[in-house]
Chains A and B, each alone.
Chain A
């Protein structure tokens, strides 16, 4: 009996439960009635080229929808003790080259980027107020990092982008509030369920953000957050 439960009944139940949409649709309707917008949380890493694709692609797909693009940069993530971690990081470059091509972009980097080298960008983003300035910064920073530069990272070009988007200087390096905000984003990502970036979370469901743009759009449509003409 245990065998039957583990191999058949439990998977079937999980799949069946995943098709239940009514509670999320009711909640979305109530949210709209209260004059509030939908929310898409994107958990991403600046050191992850697939995240660069997801940030740019999802920003385009959210245009015209009454949905907040909640950008949450993380540094620590992944499956603990993953034996394939380094192979995955190397393969991510090859894979992101193909994804970039779908957007008409060319990935310039040929080697993985050290997560520590981009930690300051995650701290800036997570410490900043949500909104269009943050979206503009994140897109421009990802463009600079993956599609417009090679070699070692320096903060200077990103500071320029920040000033252009926010009209002020970015947070100081090592700012405790910003670092805490990154840890909070990582915890929230873990609570939501995703173990890898980029991951999009919308009203109780999460998606691989680079691979499931159509699923994400369909889910937003089901929730009533469709493109407004």
Chain B
């Protein structure tokens, strides 16, 4: 019997996605679920605007949450644009190599805690190789049209389910938006009869 699935929509430009990742992957371990990673194109690259007040508050709020969760945050390199696109491409390659968790955690730490620039080969290579990925494979993914189509499909899927932001989790059609709703998702998983390992 296959494991129950939870879809996980994530943006490399979203610090809330970064905060969610360790607990999201831990949840998959705890409940033995198939957590399906879907990297999506950042809102601001989809033509949606983010007001300055929101951008400023997000940085302050995430810092407080990161401190609470014991995660590094503050040495930032904003990946808007090329860096996010490259991370998305390599994340699809990582999915194929069953290293999505490793890559997502490595990239999140690099972008939000170490000011690594994935738009540069040096930065992306550092992130990818410490996740266990081979650099030639990553380079090939960057120019692979099929991989770019998968990223676009992920993004369209988020739009299709009617959601606007990330991270979003979907279990049996029910959506959970935000890194602070993982505990609610866990409750629903328990109610669905899944037991923590």
Contacts and interface: CB of A to CB of B under 8 A. Distances in A.
Contacts of A91: 162-163, 175, 177
Nearest to A205: B60
Interface in B139-180: 162-165, 174-175, 177-178, 180
Interface residues of chain A: helix, strand, loop or mixed (majority): helix
Nearest to A90: B162
B77 A7 contact: yes
Contacts of B165: 84
Contacts of B77: 7-8
Contacts of B54: 79, 195
A14 B162 contact: no
A193 B53 contact: yes
Most buried by A among B48, B51, B61, B117: B61
Interface string A84-99: 1001100100110010
Instruction: Report which residue of B56, B64, B73, B184 has the largest number of chain A beta carbons within 10 angstroms of its beta carbon.
Output: B64
Nearest to A19: B63
Interface in A1-60: 6-8, 11-12, 14-16, 18-19
A61 interface: no
B111 to A, nearest CB: 10
Interface residues on B, range: 20 to 34
Nearest to B64: A215
Interface stretch (A110-118, A129-137, A164-172, A206-214): A206-214
Interface string B69-85: 00001111110100000
Nearest to B48: A83
B59 A14 contact: yes
A87 B164 CA distance: 8
Given A15-B59, A16-B74, A98 B181 contact: yes
Contact of A18 (B51, B59, B75, B162): B59
Contact of A207 (B61, B80, B175): B61
Contacts of B48: 83
Given A15-B74, A193-B53, A8 B177 contact: no
Contacts of A6: 78
A140 B178 CA distance: 29
A124 B61 CA distance: 32
Contacts of B61: 207-208, 212
B73 A15 contact: yes
A193 B57 contact: yes
Interface string A162-199: 00000000000000000000000000000001110000
B126 interface: no
Given A8-B77, A95-B181, A98-B184, A195 B60 contact: no
A15 B163 contact: no
A173 B174 CA distance: 41
Nearest to A86: B162
A95 B177 contact: yes
Nearest to B75: A12
B115 interface: yes
A211 B58 CA distance: 13
A94 B175 contact: yes
Contacts of B117: 7
Interface of B: 48, 51, 53-54, 56-57, 59-61, 63-65, 68, 73-78, 80, 115, 117, 162-165, 174-175, 177-178, 180-181, 184, 187
16 contacts: A7-B77, A8-B77, A11-B76, A15-B73, A18-B64, A19-B63, A87-B162, A91-B177, A98-B184, A193-B56, A195-B51, A195-B53, A205-B60, A206-B57, A212-B65, A215-B64
- Top 5 A-B pairs ranked by shortest CB distance? A84-B164, A18-B60, A7-B78, A11-B76, A15-B74
Given A8-B77, A215-B64, A215-B65, 5 more contacts: A7-B77, A8-B76, A12-B76, A15-B60, A91-B162
